[in-house]
Protein backbone atom coordinates (compact mmCIF):
# COMPACT_ATOMS: atom_id res chain seq x y z
CA UNK A 1 0.00 0.00 0.00
CA UNK A 2 0.99 3.65 -0.40
CA UNK A 3 1.47 6.03 2.52
CA UNK A 4 2.32 9.73 2.94
CA UNK A 5 5.61 9.90 4.86
CA UNK A 6 7.49 12.89 6.29
CA UNK A 7 11.29 12.58 6.46
CA UNK A 8 12.26 16.16 7.36
CA UNK A 9 11.02 19.70 6.80
CA UNK A 10 9.68 20.00 3.22
CA UNK A 11 10.62 16.37 2.57
CA UNK A 12 7.27 14.66 2.02
CA UNK A 13 7.17 11.39 0.10
CA UNK A 14 4.63 8.83 -1.07
CA UNK A 15 6.11 5.45 -0.20
CA UNK A 16 5.18 1.79 -0.27
CA UNK A 17 4.51 0.25 3.12
CA UNK A 18 3.34 -3.30 3.92
CA UNK A 19 -0.37 -3.78 4.55
CA UNK A 20 -1.40 -5.47 7.79
CA UNK A 21 -4.07 -8.01 8.68
CA UNK A 22 -6.44 -7.35 11.59
CA UNK A 23 -5.91 -9.25 14.82
CA UNK A 24 -8.51 -10.05 17.49
CA UNK A 25 -10.65 -7.00 18.25
CA UNK A 26 -9.34 -5.14 15.22
CA UNK A 27 -10.60 -4.19 11.76
CA UNK A 28 -8.91 -3.46 8.44
CA UNK A 29 -10.01 -0.23 6.79
CA UNK A 30 -9.59 1.05 3.24
CA UNK A 31 -8.96 4.73 3.87
CA UNK A 32 -11.10 7.21 1.94
CA UNK A 33 -10.57 10.70 3.36
CA UNK A 34 -8.01 12.45 5.54
CA UNK A 35 -7.84 16.06 6.71
CA UNK A 36 -4.55 17.92 7.05
CA UNK A 37 -4.24 19.25 10.60
CA UNK A 38 -2.08 22.06 11.95
CA UNK A 39 0.28 19.52 13.50
CA UNK A 40 0.71 17.81 10.11
CA UNK A 41 1.60 21.21 8.68
CA UNK A 42 4.18 21.82 11.41
CA UNK A 43 5.88 18.53 10.60
CA UNK A 44 5.85 19.39 6.89
CA UNK A 45 6.91 23.02 7.16
CA UNK A 46 9.32 22.83 10.11
CA UNK A 47 10.19 19.18 10.67
CA UNK A 48 8.55 19.23 14.09
CA UNK A 49 6.53 21.20 16.62
CA UNK A 50 8.63 23.70 18.54
CA UNK A 51 12.06 22.58 19.71
CA UNK A 52 11.02 19.55 21.76
CA UNK A 53 9.07 17.51 19.20
CA UNK A 54 11.17 16.74 16.13
CA UNK A 55 10.93 14.17 13.35
CA UNK A 56 13.79 11.74 14.03
CA UNK A 57 12.74 8.96 11.67
CA UNK A 58 10.38 8.63 8.67
CA UNK A 59 6.82 8.93 9.92
CA UNK A 60 3.45 8.46 8.25
CA UNK A 61 1.42 11.60 8.85
CA UNK A 62 -2.29 12.06 9.49
CA UNK A 63 -4.90 11.52 12.17
CA UNK A 64 -8.18 13.00 10.83
CA UNK A 65 -9.42 10.05 8.81
CA UNK A 66 -12.30 7.88 7.69
CA UNK A 67 -12.69 4.80 5.53
CA UNK A 68 -14.61 1.61 4.87
CA UNK A 69 -14.09 -1.64 6.73
CA UNK A 70 -12.66 -4.41 4.54
CA UNK A 71 -12.13 -7.16 7.14
CA UNK A 72 -13.11 -7.94 10.72
CA UNK A 73 -10.79 -9.52 13.25
CA UNK A 74 -11.90 -12.25 15.63
CA UNK A 75 -14.43 -11.17 18.23
CA UNK A 76 -15.48 -7.90 16.57
CA UNK A 77 -19.17 -7.10 16.86
CA UNK A 78 -21.28 -4.08 15.97
CA UNK A 79 -19.34 -3.33 12.79
CA UNK A 80 -19.72 -4.76 9.29
CA UNK A 81 -17.61 -5.07 6.19
CA UNK A 82 -18.23 -2.20 3.77
CA UNK A 83 -19.31 0.14 6.58
CA UNK A 84 -18.02 3.72 6.61
CA UNK A 85 -16.34 4.58 9.91
CA UNK A 86 -14.65 7.62 11.39
CA UNK A 87 -11.43 6.46 13.04
CA UNK A 88 -10.37 8.01 16.33
CA UNK A 89 -6.59 8.52 16.41
CA UNK A 90 -6.61 8.39 20.21
CA UNK A 91 -5.48 5.08 21.73
CA UNK A 92 -5.01 5.45 25.51
CA UNK A 93 -3.52 2.51 27.36
CA UNK A 94 -6.48 2.03 29.79
CA UNK A 95 -4.02 1.08 32.53
CA UNK A 96 -2.09 4.18 33.68
CA UNK A 97 -3.18 6.38 36.59
CA UNK A 98 -4.93 8.95 34.37
CA UNK A 99 -6.82 6.37 32.37
CA UNK A 100 -7.97 4.75 35.60
CA UNK A 101 -9.02 8.17 36.95
CA UNK A 102 -11.22 8.79 33.90
CA UNK A 103 -8.83 11.15 32.13
CA UNK A 104 -7.76 9.09 29.08
CA UNK A 105 -6.80 12.20 27.12
CA UNK A 106 -3.90 12.53 29.57
CA UNK A 107 -2.80 8.91 29.20
CA UNK A 108 0.86 8.42 30.11
CA UNK A 109 1.26 5.89 27.28
CA UNK A 110 -0.91 7.52 24.62
CA UNK A 111 -0.54 6.21 21.08
CA UNK A 112 -1.85 9.03 18.90
CA UNK A 113 -1.58 8.64 15.13
CA UNK A 114 1.14 10.65 13.41
CA UNK A 115 2.96 11.84 16.53
CA UNK A 116 6.72 12.41 16.78
CA UNK A 117 6.43 13.04 20.53
CA UNK A 118 7.64 9.53 21.49
CA UNK A 119 10.45 7.61 19.85
CA UNK A 120 9.99 5.40 17.94
CA UNK A 121 7.32 7.68 16.50
CA UNK A 122 3.65 6.71 16.34
CA UNK A 123 2.92 6.12 12.66
CA UNK A 124 -0.07 7.96 11.26
CA UNK A 125 -3.13 7.15 9.18
CA UNK A 126 -2.46 8.81 5.81
CA UNK A 127 -2.23 5.47 4.04
CA UNK A 128 -4.39 3.39 1.74
CA UNK A 129 -5.05 0.70 4.33
CA UNK A 130 -5.14 0.88 8.13
CA UNK A 131 -5.63 -1.68 10.89
CA UNK A 132 -7.39 -0.14 13.89
CA UNK A 133 -8.98 -1.31 17.11
CA UNK A 134 -12.71 -1.76 16.73
CA UNK A 135 -13.20 0.60 19.68
CA UNK A 136 -11.61 3.41 17.65
CA UNK A 137 -14.26 3.15 14.94
CA UNK A 138 -17.43 5.23 15.03
CA UNK A 139 -20.02 4.06 12.47
CA UNK A 140 -20.63 6.98 10.11
CA UNK A 141 -23.63 5.73 8.15
CA UNK A 142 -25.36 8.61 6.36
CA UNK A 143 -22.25 10.80 6.22
CA UNK A 144 -19.80 11.28 3.40
CA UNK A 145 -16.22 10.14 3.99
CA UNK A 146 -15.17 13.81 3.98
CA UNK A 147 -17.63 14.65 6.76
CA UNK A 148 -16.64 11.61 8.80
CA UNK A 149 -12.98 12.68 8.65
CA UNK A 150 -13.97 15.91 10.44
CA UNK A 151 -14.91 13.97 13.59
CA UNK A 152 -11.47 14.39 15.15
CA UNK A 153 -11.26 18.23 15.10
CA UNK A 154 -14.93 18.40 16.08
CA UNK A 155 -14.18 16.17 19.09
CA UNK A 156 -11.43 18.59 20.14
CA UNK A 157 -14.02 21.36 20.22
CA UNK A 158 -16.65 19.32 22.03
CA UNK A 159 -14.10 18.61 24.75
CA UNK A 160 -13.51 22.36 24.98
CA UNK A 161 -17.26 22.86 25.47
CA UNK A 162 -17.02 20.64 28.55
CA UNK A 163 -14.23 22.84 29.87
CA UNK A 164 -16.36 25.94 29.32
CA UNK A 165 -19.29 24.70 31.40
CA UNK A 166 -22.89 25.81 30.89
CA UNK A 167 -23.13 28.00 27.78
CA UNK A 168 -26.88 28.53 27.64
CA UNK A 169 -27.53 32.24 27.11
CA UNK A 170 -23.83 33.10 27.45
CA UNK A 171 -21.78 35.53 25.37
CA UNK A 172 -18.77 33.91 23.70
CA UNK A 173 -15.62 35.22 22.08
CA UNK A 174 -13.62 33.00 19.70
CA UNK A 175 -10.11 34.13 18.80
CA UNK A 176 -8.59 32.40 15.79
CA UNK A 177 -10.91 31.13 13.05
CA UNK A 178 -9.07 28.19 11.61
CA UNK A 179 -10.86 24.82 11.62
CA UNK A 180 -10.82 24.54 15.44
CA UNK A 181 -12.10 28.07 16.02
CA UNK A 182 -14.84 27.73 13.41
CA UNK A 183 -15.90 24.34 14.77
CA UNK A 184 -16.02 25.95 18.23
CA UNK A 185 -18.52 28.45 16.85
CA UNK A 186 -20.73 25.60 15.62
CA UNK A 187 -20.37 23.68 18.88
CA UNK A 188 -20.94 26.71 21.13
CA UNK A 189 -24.13 27.62 19.27
CA UNK A 190 -25.36 24.03 19.59
CA UNK A 191 -24.55 24.23 23.32
CA UNK A 192 -26.81 27.28 23.71
CA UNK A 193 -24.51 30.30 23.42
CA UNK A 194 -26.41 33.50 22.63
CA UNK A 195 -23.88 36.05 21.35
CA UNK A 196 -20.81 34.74 19.47
CA UNK A 197 -18.09 37.09 18.25
CA UNK A 198 -15.09 35.81 16.30
CA UNK A 199 -11.72 37.43 15.58
CA UNK A 200 -8.95 36.57 13.15
CA UNK A 201 -6.41 38.24 10.88
CA UNK A 202 -7.87 37.10 7.55
CA UNK A 203 -11.10 37.92 5.75
CA UNK A 204 -11.39 34.46 4.18
CA UNK A 205 -11.50 32.61 7.50
CA UNK A 206 -13.74 35.26 9.04
CA UNK A 207 -16.19 34.82 6.17
CA UNK A 208 -16.46 31.12 6.97
CA UNK A 209 -16.79 31.95 10.67
CA UNK A 210 -19.77 34.15 9.87
CA UNK A 211 -21.22 31.39 7.71
CA UNK A 212 -20.79 29.03 10.66
CA UNK A 213 -23.00 31.30 12.77
CA UNK A 214 -20.85 34.01 14.37
CA UNK A 215 -22.99 37.09 15.08
CA UNK A 216 -20.05 39.40 14.44
CA UNK A 217 -16.59 38.92 12.99
CA UNK A 218 -13.67 41.29 13.54
CA UNK A 219 -10.45 41.43 11.54
CA UNK A 220 -7.87 42.38 14.16
CA UNK A 221 -5.50 43.80 11.54
CA UNK A 222 -7.60 46.94 11.68
CA UNK A 223 -10.39 46.27 14.14
CA UNK A 224 -10.59 46.12 17.93
CA UNK A 225 -12.69 44.65 20.71
CA UNK A 226 -13.20 48.10 22.27
CA UNK A 227 -16.97 47.86 21.88
CA UNK A 228 -16.96 44.96 24.36
CA UNK A 229 -14.67 46.37 27.06
CA UNK A 230 -17.20 48.68 28.80
CA UNK A 231 -18.09 47.92 32.42
CA UNK A 232 -15.09 45.59 32.83
CA UNK A 233 -15.94 43.44 29.80
CA UNK A 234 -18.88 41.69 28.21
CA UNK A 235 -17.92 38.09 27.33
CA UNK A 236 -18.62 35.18 29.64
CA UNK A 237 -16.33 32.73 27.84
CA UNK A 238 -13.30 32.99 25.59
CA UNK A 239 -12.28 30.11 23.33
CA UNK A 240 -8.69 30.99 22.44
CA UNK A 241 -7.92 28.98 19.32
CA UNK A 242 -5.00 30.85 17.78
CA UNK A 243 -2.21 29.96 20.19
CA UNK A 244 -0.97 33.54 19.79
CA UNK A 245 -0.22 35.63 22.88
CA UNK A 246 -1.41 38.92 21.26
CA UNK A 247 -4.85 37.39 20.66
CA UNK A 248 -5.21 36.46 24.32
CA UNK A 249 -3.91 39.82 25.54
CA UNK A 250 -6.37 41.69 23.32
CA UNK A 251 -9.25 39.56 24.57
CA UNK A 252 -8.69 39.97 28.32
CA UNK A 253 -10.20 43.50 28.55
CA UNK A 254 -13.35 42.21 26.83
CA UNK A 255 -13.97 39.35 29.28
CA UNK A 256 -16.24 40.10 32.20
CA UNK A 257 -15.11 39.51 35.81
CA UNK A 258 -15.14 35.81 36.73
CA UNK A 259 -15.32 34.89 33.08
CA UNK A 260 -13.68 31.75 31.80
CA UNK A 261 -10.84 31.31 29.32
CA UNK A 262 -10.60 27.99 27.48
CA UNK A 263 -7.24 27.65 25.75
CA UNK A 264 -7.21 25.33 22.73
CA UNK A 265 -4.55 26.95 20.54
CA UNK A 266 -1.11 25.37 20.79
CA UNK A 267 1.36 27.81 19.29
CA UNK A 268 4.22 27.53 21.76
CA UNK A 269 4.75 29.18 25.13
CA UNK A 270 2.58 32.25 25.73
CA UNK A 271 3.08 35.14 28.10
CA UNK A 272 -0.12 35.65 30.08
CA UNK A 273 -1.35 39.02 31.40
CA UNK A 274 -1.55 37.55 34.89
CA UNK A 275 -2.24 40.78 36.77
CA UNK A 276 -5.21 41.67 34.57
CA UNK A 277 -6.52 38.10 34.87
CA UNK A 278 -6.11 38.19 38.64
CA UNK A 279 -7.89 41.52 39.02
CA UNK A 280 -10.86 40.15 37.11
CA UNK A 281 -10.77 36.77 38.88
CA UNK A 282 -10.72 35.02 35.52
CA UNK A 283 -10.63 31.23 35.29
CA UNK A 284 -8.09 29.71 32.90
CA UNK A 285 -8.76 26.20 31.60
CA UNK A 286 -6.60 24.25 29.23
CA UNK A 287 -8.31 21.95 26.74
CA UNK A 288 -6.28 19.08 25.32
CA UNK A 289 -7.44 16.38 22.94
CA UNK A 290 -10.63 14.38 23.68
CA UNK A 291 -11.89 10.85 24.13
CA UNK A 292 -15.59 10.04 24.45
CA UNK A 293 -16.46 13.19 22.52
CA UNK A 294 -15.31 11.53 19.28
CA UNK A 295 -18.37 9.30 18.98
CA UNK A 296 -20.60 12.17 20.10
CA UNK A 297 -19.29 14.34 17.27
CA UNK A 298 -20.12 11.69 14.69
CA UNK A 299 -23.62 11.37 16.13
CA UNK A 300 -24.21 15.13 16.01
CA UNK A 301 -23.18 15.22 12.36
CA UNK A 302 -25.40 12.25 11.53
CA UNK A 303 -28.39 13.99 13.11
CA UNK A 304 -27.76 17.15 11.10
CA UNK A 305 -27.10 19.17 14.26
CA UNK A 306 -23.62 20.25 13.18
CA UNK A 307 -22.80 20.81 9.50
CA UNK A 308 -19.08 20.64 8.72
CA UNK A 309 -19.37 20.56 4.92
CA UNK A 310 -18.72 24.30 4.35
CA UNK A 311 -15.41 24.01 6.19
CA UNK A 312 -14.00 21.47 3.70
CA UNK A 313 -12.55 23.85 1.14
CA UNK A 314 -10.27 21.61 -0.97
CA UNK A 315 -9.81 17.92 -1.76
CA UNK A 316 -6.74 16.48 -3.51
CA UNK A 317 -5.98 12.95 -4.68
CA UNK A 318 -3.26 11.12 -2.79
CA UNK A 319 -0.90 11.49 -5.74
CA UNK A 320 -0.99 15.26 -5.20
CA UNK A 321 -0.25 15.15 -1.49
CA UNK A 322 2.49 17.77 -1.82
CA UNK A 323 0.06 20.19 -3.48
CA UNK A 324 -2.46 19.47 -0.73
CA UNK A 325 0.02 20.38 2.01
CA UNK A 326 1.03 23.57 0.22
CA UNK A 327 -2.63 24.58 -0.11
CA UNK A 328 -3.40 23.70 3.52
CA UNK A 329 -0.80 26.25 4.60
CA UNK A 330 -2.50 29.06 2.67
CA UNK A 331 -5.02 30.59 5.08
CA UNK A 332 -6.17 33.05 2.42
CA UNK A 333 -8.04 30.26 0.62
CA UNK A 334 -7.94 27.07 2.71
CA UNK A 335 -9.91 26.17 5.82
CA UNK A 336 -9.72 22.38 5.79
CA UNK A 337 -7.83 20.66 2.99
CA UNK A 338 -8.43 16.94 2.67
CA UNK A 339 -6.80 14.08 0.79
CA UNK A 340 -8.83 11.47 -1.11
CA UNK A 341 -7.26 8.01 -0.73
CA UNK A 342 -9.65 6.14 -3.02
Rounded distance, CA 37 to CA 63, Å? 8
Residue 282, class by beta-carbon neighbours within 10 Å (0-12 exposed, 13-18 middle, 19+ buried)? buried
Q: Return the exposure string of 191-216: e unless at least 16 CB atoms fall within 10 Å of the residue's CB, then b.
A: bebebbbbbbbbebbbebbbebbbeb
Rounded distance, CA 103 to CA 92, Å? 10
Look up the CATH number of domain 155-286. Answer: 3.40.50.720
Task: Report mean pLDDT in 10-residue bins for the chain, 342 residues.
Answer: 97 96 97 96 93 94 98 97 98 96 96 95 98 98 98 98 98 97 98 98 98 98 97 98 93 98 86 92 96 96 98 98 97 97 96
Instruction: Say what the pLDDT of residue 270 is.
Output: 82
CATH superfamily of domain region 2-150+308-340 = Medium-chain alcohol dehydrogenases, catalytic domain (3.90.180.10)
Chain CA centroid to CA 279, Å = 32
Q: What Å distances lie between residue 337 and 81, 108, 340, CA to CA?
A: 28, 31, 10
Residue 153, class by beta-carbon neighbours within 10 Å (0-12 exposed, 13-18 middle, 19+ buried)? buried
37 secondary structure, DSSP code: P
Residue 78, class by beta-carbon neighbours within 10 Å (0-12 exposed, 13-18 middle, 19+ buried)? exposed
Domain locations along the chain: 2-150+308-340, 155-286
Amino acid sequence: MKAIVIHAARDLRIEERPAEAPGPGQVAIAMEAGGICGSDLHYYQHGGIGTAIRVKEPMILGHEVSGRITALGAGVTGLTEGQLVAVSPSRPCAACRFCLEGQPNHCLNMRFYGSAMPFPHIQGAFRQSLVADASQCAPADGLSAAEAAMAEPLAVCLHAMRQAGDLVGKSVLVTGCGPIGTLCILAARRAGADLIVATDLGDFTLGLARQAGADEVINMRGGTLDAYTADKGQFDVLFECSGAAPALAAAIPAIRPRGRIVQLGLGGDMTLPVQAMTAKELEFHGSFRFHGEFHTGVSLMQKGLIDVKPLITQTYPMARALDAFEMAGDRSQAMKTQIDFT
